[in-house]
Amino acid sequence: MPMTERRSTHCRPWGIGMKILFDGFWLLDGPPSGRLVVKEVLRAWANHFPEDDIVVVVPSHARASSLDIPGNATLLRSRLRLHPLINGIELTVAARRLGVDLIFCQNFSALSGRSVVFLHDVLFQSNPEWFTRIERTYFRVMIFLARFAGAIVTSSESERQRISAHNPTLRKVIATRLGVASVFSNNAANRHVPDLKPGQYLLTVGRLNIRKNLVRTIEGALMSGTVSPDFPLVVVGDASGKKEELSDSARAAIADGRVRFTGFVDSRQLLWLYSNAALMMFLSLGEGYGLPPVEAMALGTRVLASDLPVMHENLGEYATFVDPADVSAIAAAISESLAGSGPGVPEPVPSWEAVVRASRAALAEPLAAWRPRGLTRFMYRKLRGRDLPLEVPPSVVSEFLLRKIVEALRGATFGFTYRRLPGLHFRGRGVQVQFPRHFTAGRGVALADRVRIDAYCREGVVLGDNVTVGAGTLIAGSGVIAEPGEYVRIGARSAIGVNNVIWGQGGVTIGVDALLGPDVVIVSENHESSSIDIPIRLQGSARAPIRIGDGCWIGAGAKILAGVSMGNGSVVGAGAVVTRDVPPYAIVAGVPAKIVAYRGQGATYAS
């Protein structure tokens, strides 16, 4: 995939947010309901989970200015054109490369158990006669890819049952309802549709195909005797999918203005049409959800809907229901609805937040319940001497595991030159070990990238079990080979930060469980400089051992000079220069370092 076009300045807090790869294919192209779901879910996700890091994948030809992308999201362009290929191949690859926690897809899942796919419906399985052969072939790919998803989300309980009945081997299927477009719920200004008067038309909305039952809808409206050029049936939507032929009476009604086709209308025009219709009719033969009547209900418009389980589920007692296959019943229901006192009590319209929370929870709960085990747990305990924290996202653990496997292979390949105890040994890129026969590494030692160890000295350099050495650190037993130093000994489970410098000419001992921050300098040798007649480099040096006790913590940029002894559990503040001994559990800071506090009364350190 190409590089991202726009990067977010948003950072997620460690252990709280998730990294989400979002299928944005339908932001540019797709059915109106599909575009609505993508746009509203993306907006709700960014609003309700601002700690999540969202990466939106869109087709390569999409113009960024035409996409409604939240400001805290990153835009990524795909190279492929077909939706199934983008999701099945590119989203899968991008998810692994970016280390995402969850992939949110529309209809076509990525090839990953971290994928949550929103499957709108599988009507092509229950009613294949409503679809063309090409459509059925295309939709079968949805089911194939859905087998790889960690969870499937759909828009209604009715559709959840249909999906499970036709595809019993799929993983868990979750039902959640859909909200309405933001423009319907935030009092946005609507746009008048020319040649229509408020309250003087019937309305039906949806894509024009055989499933939407348009012919019977028109025939029922004509049979009711209510439509006329001054009180028309308005049909909103574009032709899509398998079509049915209009009857002669329907064509005549179109010709004389009793039936009007608007084609596609924008959101503000649709808002006006819903708000001012005398009756909104939705007489589809089958639906996964059926969003138009829910939108009409949200605006208080009377609704006549198909007598289907999903319509009852979404509309409750609000709408009038009729058999969509019975033209006479449709005609009678239109007349009764127009003569009635008004719609019933509306069902609460769900929020898009509910869709987002259900989708996020579909994988967030398994992630929260995830337990590191096996090789990962073993490697982490060997390296750190403790269990892996449970809140670490699996994507991070996977990357950690892969990196450590590579480093362990380097350790096994290049570590034969020096003495080391049996067990895992991790070695980053560019590690240099000079005079390897003088170097001993314990089990689980980890040398990060560009660590340099010059082990030439009388007693060598020794790293205890599970010692970690940060990138760019230099550990040297001697300054020059003509004047060999004494030793460097670092106790088990101690962590040496990045870019540390440890000189062992006078001998350096660091106890167990010690922590050294970045850029710490430990120098056990000083130049003599008393004479002004001899160059300093010729006056020799004064060496004195440095001892850093068990459990000490040395802050970033601190300097420990020759002859200093630090008691167990003591702490050195960042940037301090330590020139004299530090008592156990004392906290020192400043230049030169002075005692500023003690860690506690009667504290003891068990090594």
User: Do 222 and 150 share a domain, yes or no?
Assistant: no
For residue 11, the model assigns a pLDDT of: 39
Q: Which pair of tokens denotes residue 21?
A: 């790869």
Answer whether 179's CB lies under 8 Å from 350's CB: yes
Average pLDDT over residues 172-188: 77
Q: Look at residue 512 and tell me whether its pLDDT is greater than 60.
A: yes
Domain finish residue from 305, 339, 373: 339
Closest CA to 458 of 579, 545, 554: 545
Q: How far apart are CA 388 and CA 281, in angstroms?
A: 58
The residues assigned a catalytic role are: 527
User: Do 135 and 205 share a domain, yes or no?
Assistant: no
Q: Look at residue 306 and tell me whether its pLDDT is greater than 70.
A: yes
Tally of domains within the chain? 3
Average pLDDT over residues 37-48: 88
Q: Model pTM?
A: 0.59
User: Do 235 and 300 share a domain, yes or no?
Assistant: yes
Domain finish residue from 113, 141, 175: 175
Whether 550 is in a domain gets the answer: yes
Q: What is the DSSP letter of 580?
A: S
The residue range of the domain holding 55 is: 19-175
**What percent of the chain has pLDDT above 70?**
85
Whether 400 is in a domain gets the answer: no
315-355 pLDDT, tens digit each: 988 899 999 999 999 999 999 999 886 666 677 777 888 88
User: Do 191 and 168 share a domain, yes or no?
Assistant: no
61-120 pLDDT, tens digit each: 766 666 777 777 888 888 888 899 999 999 988 888 888 888 999 999 998 888 889 999
pLDDT band at 180 (very low <50, low <70, confident <90, very high): confident
Q: How far apart are CA 367 and CA 388, in angstroms?
A: 14
428-463 pLDDT, tens digit each: 999 999 998 899 988 888 999 999 999 999 999 999
What's the Rg (C-alpha) of the chain? Answer: 35
Whether 314 is in a domain gets the answer: yes
CATH number at residue 299: 3.40.50.2000
Q: How far apart are CA 519 and CA 472, in angstroms?
A: 10
pLDDT band at 421 (very low <50, low <70, confident <90, very high): low
- Residue 357 CB neighbours (<10 A): 17
Report the range of poorest mean pLDDT among 39-43, 144-148, 420-424, 429-433.
420-424
User: Do 80 and 116 share a domain, yes or no?
Assistant: yes
Phi-psi group of 65: left, alpha or beta (phi > 0 → left; psi -120 to 50 → alpha; rest → beta): alpha
Q: How far apart are CA 460 and CA 504, in angstroms?
A: 9
Q: How far apart are CA 479 and CA 486, in angstroms?
A: 11
Output phi, psi for 567, to 5 deg: -70, 165
Whether 605 is in a domain gets the answer: no
Residue with tokens 């060997």: 382
Report the range of poorest mean pLDDT among 367-381, 403-417, 431-445, 517-531.
367-381
pLDDT band at 139 (very low <50, low <70, confident <90, very high): very high
Domain finish residue from 310, 339, 368: 339
Report the range of poorest mean pLDDT among 18-22, 137-141, 358-362.
358-362
Distances (CA, A) of 3 to 99, 105, 277: 15, 20, 48
Spatial neighbors of 195 by CB under 8 A, at least 6 apart, are none
Whether 356 is in a domain gets the answer: no
Whether 393 is in a domain gets the answer: no
Average pLDDT over residues 180-192: 68
Q: What is the DSSP string of 472-518?
A: T-EEES-SSTTS-B--EEE-TT-EE-TT-EEE-SS-EEE-TT-EE-T
Higher pLDDT residue, 351 or 419?
Answer: 351
Report the range of poorest mean pLDDT among 103-117, 356-370, 519-533.
356-370
User: Do 156 and 193 share a domain, yes or no?
Assistant: no
